[in-house]
């Protein structure tokens, strides 16, 4: 089931990067898929910090945490429990 | 939704632009603030603070404070001036000569770097290699269409070479900052100051590089790739700074200011470029494929910010030197029949 974090993240991606939800493969990197570039990575990180009141360190913006929508959601969930 | 409008009546976004919708007055959903493309002034203020802190921490720690991606166009010229005069940075200016830079632009480059007293290097890759890369970018689906909303495929290739070369300079010479002349509209406000995870980005580019390599050959590796050992140095620096985004300034004010350094507007470029003759062709290919100009998003942002009128923006999009398109296609040995077909709504 889609979590609230995932819903908000997908809404942000669709509105900012002019894609439809069905175009986003949840398992694949948004950068690899061409949906975002290096600027987009920074922009998503800023959105997540503000929306979920978390801190994201520069070295956390890596493939393990930002390598797909599902990985980002999991990263946020972990951050929120800290 | 109004389906009879061909272009927003307030900005210049076309009906073919992704996810666009017009109201009964022909105003698009971007102008109605339904697509949150940029953020407010709080981001600008926090970026100013972050940049000031970073500059204080790193200025004077290396032979140069910053590598400046200097195309010789109006925005990068103004940004170079800001870097030196306003921020007091010791700059290494770097220009990619893609073989299509206007001769007037090269004169501008010389005058500006001499006036500002900065060191300057030019990279001119083999013209055969460049033409192969340009041809591949124009004729083959190298990049994901979603990447090309605000940039043409050929510009994307040139800017990738610029970014990679600037990164190599920064890492080899241990320069803490890379400065570029992007404006808001070209980039989101959160990206005025940032540090890339280059390792992640490098891995992510492999698919498009592989396609480019297939079409243009192994020369792609010389310009688009970096030694993994050198790349591993990028965990601490460089930071990317887009200093022009912090300025509340109109295009005519920029032009007035840079004229003091002897900068002259080239006549052999289209309305959306102030240095590169190739842009006419790049935009033509993009418009043919997607149905809209790759500059629409940026120009529309400037209109909403009050930094450009709609008429001025339309003039930019429509201004193309007579005969230039065919002349460039002849230089590249590309025929009309070879160009990709229209893919509206992609």
User: For residues B111 and B286, is the Cβ–Cβ distance under 8 A?
Assistant: no
User: For residues B285 and B138, is the Cβ–Cβ distance under 8 A?
Assistant: yes
Strands B66-69 and B193-194: what pairing?
A: unpaired
Instruction: Give B162 to chain A, closest Cα distance, Å.
Output: 14
pLDDT reported for residue B250: 87
pLDDT reported for residue A18: 87
Measured CA to CA, the distance from residue B342 to residue B14 in angstroms comes to: 15
- Mean pLDDT over A36-42 rounds to 87
Sheet holding B66-69, edge to edge: B119-123, B91-96, B66-69, B177-179, B239-241, B193-194
Residue A18 and residue B19: Cβ atoms within 8 Å? yes
Instruction: Give B243 to chain A, closest Cα distance, Å.
Output: 15
Helices then strands, counting H and E runs in chain A, come out as 4, 0
A58 chain-B contacts, CB cut-off 8 A: 195, 197
Kindly identify which residue of chain B lies nearest to residue A44, measuring between CA atoms. B190
Interface of A with B in 28-57 (CB under 8 A): 29, 31-35, 37-43, 45-46
A53-65 pLDDT, tens digit per residue, is: 999 988 898 899 9
Residues linked to residue B177 through DSSP beta bridges, in sequence order: B66, B239
Residue B43 and residue A58: Cβ atoms within 8 Å? no
DSSP run (H or E) holding A82: none
- Indicate the burial class of B115 (C-beta count within 10 angstroms; 0-12, 13-18, 19 or more): middle
pLDDT reported for residue B342: 60
Residue B146 and residue A15: Cβ atoms within 8 Å? no
User: For residues B181 and B79, is the Cβ–Cβ distance under 8 A?
Assistant: yes
Contacts of B286 (CB under 8 A, 6+ apart): B148, B152, B153, B292, B293, B294
Residue B197 and residue A18: Cβ atoms within 8 Å? no
pTM: 0.92
B253-305 pLDDT, tens digit per residue, is: 999 999 999 999 999 999 999 999 999 999 999 999 999 999 999 999 889 98
CA distances in angstroms from B271 to B156, B205, B243, B290, listed in the order given: 19, 31, 23, 19
Percentage of residues in chain B having pLDDT higher than 90: 78
Kindly identify which residue of chain B lies nearest to residue A47, measuring between CA atoms. B190
User: Tokens standing for B221?
Assistant: 């590796």
CA proximity to B309, closest of B12, B1, B42: B12
Report residues of chain B scoring pLDDT below 50.
37, 344-346
pLDDT reported for residue B343: 56
Cβ pairs A/B, distance under 8 A: 76
| DSSP codes of every residue in B52-109 | HHHHHHHTTSSS-SEEEE--SSHHHHHHHHIIIIIS---EEEEEE--S-B-HHHHHHH
pLDDT reported for residue B346: 41
Pick A31 or B34 by higher pLDDT.
A31
């Amino acid at each position: 089931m889609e979590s609230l974090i995932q819903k908000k993240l997908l809404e942000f991606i669709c509105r900012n990067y002019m894609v439809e939800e069905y175009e986003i493969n949840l398992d694949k990197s948004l950068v690899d898929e061409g949906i975002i570039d290096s600027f987009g990575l920074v922009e998503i990180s800023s959105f997540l910090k503000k929306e979920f009141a978390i801190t994201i360190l520069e070295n956390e913006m890596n493939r393990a945490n930002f390598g797909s929508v599902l990985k980002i959601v999991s990263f946020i969930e972990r951050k929120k429990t800290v | 939704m109004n389906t009879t409008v061909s272009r927003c009546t307030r900005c210049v976004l076309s009906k073919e632009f992704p996810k666009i919708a017009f109201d009964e007055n022909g105003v698009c959903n971007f102008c109605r603030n339904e697509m949150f493309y940029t953020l407010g002034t709080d981001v600008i203020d926090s970026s100013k603070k972050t940049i000031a802190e970073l500059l204080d921490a790193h200025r004077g720690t290396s032979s140069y404070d910053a590598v400046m991606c200097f195309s010789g166009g109006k925005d990068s010229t103004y940004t170079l001036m800001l870097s030196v005069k306003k921020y007091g940075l010791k700059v290494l200016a770097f220009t990619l000569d893609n073989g299509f830079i206007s001769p007037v632009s090269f004169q501008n480059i010389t005058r500006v770097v001499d006036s500002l007293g900065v060191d300057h290097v030019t990279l001119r890759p083999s013209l055969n290699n460049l033409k192969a890369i340009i041809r591949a970018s124009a004729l083959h689906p190298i990049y994901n269409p979603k990447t090309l909303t605000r940039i043409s495929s050929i510009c994307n290739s040139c800017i990738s070479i610029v970014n990679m070369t600037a990164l190599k300079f920064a890492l080899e010479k241990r320069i803490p900052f890379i400065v570029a002349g992007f404006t808001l509209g070209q980039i989101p406000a959160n990206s005025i100051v940032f540090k890339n995870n280059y390792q992640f980005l490098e891995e992510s580019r492999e698919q498009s590089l592989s396609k480019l390599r297939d079409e243009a050959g192994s020369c792609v590796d010389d310009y688009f790739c970096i030694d993994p050992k050198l790349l591993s140095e990028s965990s601490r620096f460089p930071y990317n700074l887009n200093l022009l985004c912090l300025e509340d300034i109109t295009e005519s004010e920029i032009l007035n200011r840079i004229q003091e350094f002897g900068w002259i507007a080239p006549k052999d470029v289209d309305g959306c470029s102030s240095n590169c003759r190739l842009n006419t062709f790049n935009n033509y290919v993009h418009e043919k494929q997607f149905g809209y100009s790759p500059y629409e998003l940026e120009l529309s942002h400037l209109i909403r910010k009050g930094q450009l009128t709609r008429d001025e923006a339309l003039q930019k999009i429509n201004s193309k030197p007579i005969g230039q398109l065919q002349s460039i296609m002849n230089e590249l040995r590309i025929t009309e029949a070879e160009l990709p077909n229209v893919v509206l709504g992609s």
